[in-house]
A and B are shown apart, each in its own frame.
Chain A
Amino acid sequence: MLKRLSTLAAALLISTALHAEPVSGGRANVVIQPEPPSLMVGLIQNGPTQMVAGNIYEGLLRYDKDLEPEPQLAKSWEISEDGLTYTFHLHENVKWHDGEPFTSADVVFSADEFLRETHPRLRTSLEHVESITAPDDHTVVFKLKQPFGPFIGIFEVGTMPMIPKHIYEGTEYENNPANNTPIGTGPFKFEEWERGSHILLTKNEEYYEEGLPYLDEIYWHVIPDAASRAVAYEAGVVDILPGGSVENFDVQRIADMENTCITDEGWEYFGPHSWMWLNNREGPTADKRFRQAVMYAMDRNFAKDALWNGLGKVATGPVSSSTRFYSDDVKQYEYDPEQAKALLEEMGYDGETVRLLPLPYGETWQRWAEAVKQNLEEVGINAEIVATDVAGWNQKLAEWDYDMAFTYLYQYGDPALGVARNYISTNIAKGSQWNNVEGYENPKVDELFEKAAVAVTQEERQELYNEIQQILVEDVPVAWLLELGFPTIYRCNVKDLVTTAIGVNDGFKNAYVEE
């Protein structure tokens, strides 16, 4: 009874905490790993850069956890019925950190000039755009060549950050000295960067959203060793460990600490989806039956529970369940070694050794590769693990020099942005590890993806993507593993840390620290 009472009391405490008013002031101590090479998010799009710079720079929109657009620099927007014209109305009292006003000219410059040159992912989406114009200082109009379903999804800060025209126009972007003192419109300003030690951001007192942000400053601590990062949290030096900060085997121990909360939300936009590339061109992996056998041979639930602390989900196919147009109406591959053996026998697999490349991102991935190797050996597949570092791994993938290779990629909320690129045959080209690296060719799939991207109604798109998912899951061009769950760990008195579909990457605008 006493126990029940105390549980109730705890629950009450939590519910009062939930309703508490945000308090201004305080500091967030956050781990950043690895150290970003630069904070100029228009030039460098790596994870850590986005995470810190998401406080300094802003996009026109944010996305809630269901991927619905929310206002950011744009306070409202309209999409014409034919799906060709997107009109954004900007906040009127926005200033860059150096005091200059932010206007529609900055939007046109960012999207049409700067990012077109420097941002390969956005550039692909901008190919659908016919013109970007600014009828007045606070209105921007994007006109498309044809309808493009996912277009409303490309305005978050990592995909289309706003870059100050008055600083960059006419300069050589890469060598602009301002890159080291980034100027954005965001809730926090760049203050100092002691390389190898920390980055300090301070509150933007002129921020255009009333009362925001709450925090006075954010310290990003650069701690290169995963074990030391865990110790930093335990010792109270840092209070927030963004996803991937500590090794998975440390997560549970830290999450069990007092006043510690954990969430795997805030990754919905990215939908980190893991799989093994299977080389469709040569060797046993060129045979569909072998690829299906790999799917049956893997105990993916074991990997989820033992290596990923039970976070995430077993992937059912090419589309993450957090991405639009996901369908689970596809062939299911349960862990079934006997089925795998039967398929291998049917194809006459002769025991040829396959090279397996782990992802060189730390201990978890190494262990995962070992677990998969063991699964494969149990059904008679000889696998040999090939060790590489990041640069070597990049090169092997780009040169198609592998049989099986672990990876995970983001989906950016829409199959047209983050899924099609891995399966359409026009995307087969050496030199990249985000295109159709496996070499899968299916004219039917090409056609369906093409139609689905430009179909106007949601229903039409859903139907086309359903069909695509069925075909792909039958063909197994790659061996899907898990929808990864990256836990953000933080002291429970840090509130409203993760409020959107890109989580901490959207900045700490709404976060506050309760006494």
Chain B
Amino acid sequence: MLRFILMRLGKAVIILIAILILNFFLIHAAPGDPAAVMAGEAGAADEKFIADLRERFGLDKPLLTQLGIYLGGVLQFDLGYSYRQQMPVADLILDRLPATLLLTMTAFAISLSLGTLAGVLASARVGKWSDTLISTTALLFYATPLFWAALMAVLLFSVVLNWLPGFGYETVGANYTGFRRVLDIGQHLILPATTLGLFFMAVYMRMTRASMLEVSQLDFVKTARAKGLRPSVIQRRHIFRNAMLPVVTLAGLQAGQLVGGAVLTETVFAWPGIGRLMFEALAQRDYNVLLGVFFVSAAMVLLFNLITDILYRFVDPRIRVG
């Protein structure tokens, strides 16, 4: 087992570096650079000013040299400096990471729990009206564009009904502390987390339902029934556990997006997370910040792939190290 993990970790590091290099060239292939963007915002600049900025940012060096300097830094766990925001990239990311993780993990928990639950329920009542209702709702969630659902949620629950705050991480200026603050953040979390979770909730539901139905037709389930086991035991121990395999794979995929996958939600709900940091860095060609976010999110994807693989071995005893 340890050897398996170490091997996978080794591979992960190589992939990570490859991703960084690819990203580096991709970003530099986009037109414009941070010096030009910053000069642009100043509303006036001459060539000397822009040249000075480029020199300060190290953008005047050959591309490969820049890549070398960057990778050298990363290997020493230094993600560089954002000249635009005048802060180390690692600080910027760490600043934003908790908000994003809170949002995405809540969305993850909501979608996984409600999705599988709805899927199990639907599969137990195939063809009945409750199954139709659940399946139709899931289809709706699946097909609704995220930004639209988000805006509608704000309009309904925040503007019209005034039940929940429509944006932000907490009530700015209220200076809540302790439990009151937790409650406040929780209230702010409901809309974005639910909206963000809708799509995956639908996916889990559909997958669980299909998978449950498929497994329940397999021979070993028939055998279990023939043995006279109670239906609830069969449902739980035989069908559910096996039906969860594709769901775990999917959960691994979703978990990988925990860091980078909430750009839209964070924008609409003014959630101070890493998705927005990335989006803004992209618009401003803030290379180091962008690479830093890519690095962290790629690392998360790899990490969760690894965890999924390990989990698989627990869920499905047929899988062994190949």
Contact = CB atoms under 8 A, between A and B. Distances in A.
B173 A29 contact: yes
B272 A195 contact: yes
A492 to B, nearest CB: 21
A108 B201 CA distance: 63
B166 A235 contact: yes
Given A46-B42, A120-B44, A222 B37 contact: no
A390 interface: yes
A44 interface: yes
Nearest to A195: B95
**Chain B interface residue count: which class?**
35 or more
Given A224-B276, A390-B40, A432 B283 contact: no
Q: Which of B33, B38, B40, B43 has the most CB of A within 10 A?
A: B43
Interface stretch (A59-67, A325-333, A366-374, A391-399): A391-399
B38 A44 contact: yes
A227 B151 contact: yes
Given A197-B168, A222-B270, A235-B159, A391 B43 contact: no
B169 interface: yes
Interface string A150-191: 000000000000000000000000110001100000000000
Contact of A390 (B37, B84, B96, B169): B37
A21 interface: no
B272 A231 contact: no
Nearest to A45: B42
A95 to B, nearest CB: 25
A34 B47 CA distance: 26
Contacts of A40: 86
B166 A394 contact: no
Contacts of A421: 44
Interface of A: 27, 29, 34-35, 37-38, 40, 43-47, 119-121, 124, 174-175, 179-180, 194-198, 200, 217, 219, 221-225, 227-228, 231-232, 234-235, 237, 388-396, 398, 409-410, 421, 429-435
A158 to B, nearest CB: 9
A127 to B, nearest CB: 11
B102 interface: no
B32 A432 contact: no
A38 B168 CA distance: 21
Given A121-B43, A180-B87, A432-B45, A195 B92 contact: yes
A391 B95 contact: no
A391 B32 contact: yes
Contacts of B267: 224-225
A120 B42 contact: yes
Interface of B: 30-33, 36-47, 49-50, 56, 83-87, 92, 95-96, 99, 151, 154-155, 158-159, 162, 166-170, 172-173, 266-273, 276-277, 279-280, 283-285
A219 B175 CA distance: 12
B86 A434 contact: no
Given A195-B95, A224-B266, A432-B39, 10 more contacts: A34-B280, A37-B85, A44-B42, A45-B43, A219-B172, A223-B270, A224-B267, A390-B283, A391-B283, A430-B47
Contacts of A34: 280
Given A35-B280, A224-B267, A434-B44, A391 B36 contact: yes
A38 B32 contact: no
A197 B283 contact: no
Contact of B40 (A180, A196, A237, A433): A433
Contact of A228 (B46, B95, B270): B270
A38 B85 contact: yes
Nearest to A121: B44
> 9 closest pairs, A vs B, by CB?
A196-B272, A391-B32, A46-B41, A121-B44, A45-B42, A392-B31, A120-B49, A197-B272, A223-B270
Given A40-B86, A434-B43, A234 B95 contact: no
Nearest to A40: B86
Contacts of A38: 84-86
B214 to A, nearest CB: 42
Given A222-B270, A434-B43, A395 B36 contact: yes
A401 to B, nearest CB: 10
Contacts of B284: 37, 390-391
B172 A394 contact: no
A232 B271 CA distance: 14
24 contacts: A37-B86, A40-B86, A47-B41, A120-B42, A120-B46, A196-B96, A196-B271, A196-B276, A219-B173, A221-B168, A225-B267, A231-B154, A231-B155, A390-B40, A390-B284, A391-B30, A391-B31, A391-B285, A392-B32, A394-B40, A421-B44, A431-B47, A432-B39, A433-B40
B30 to A, nearest CB: 7
B280 A225 contact: no
A234 B31 contact: no
Contacts of B269: 228
B32 A394 contact: yes
A433 B269 CA distance: 34
Contacts of A196: 95-96, 99, 169, 270-273, 276-277
Nearest to A433: B40
Contacts of B42: 44-46, 119-121
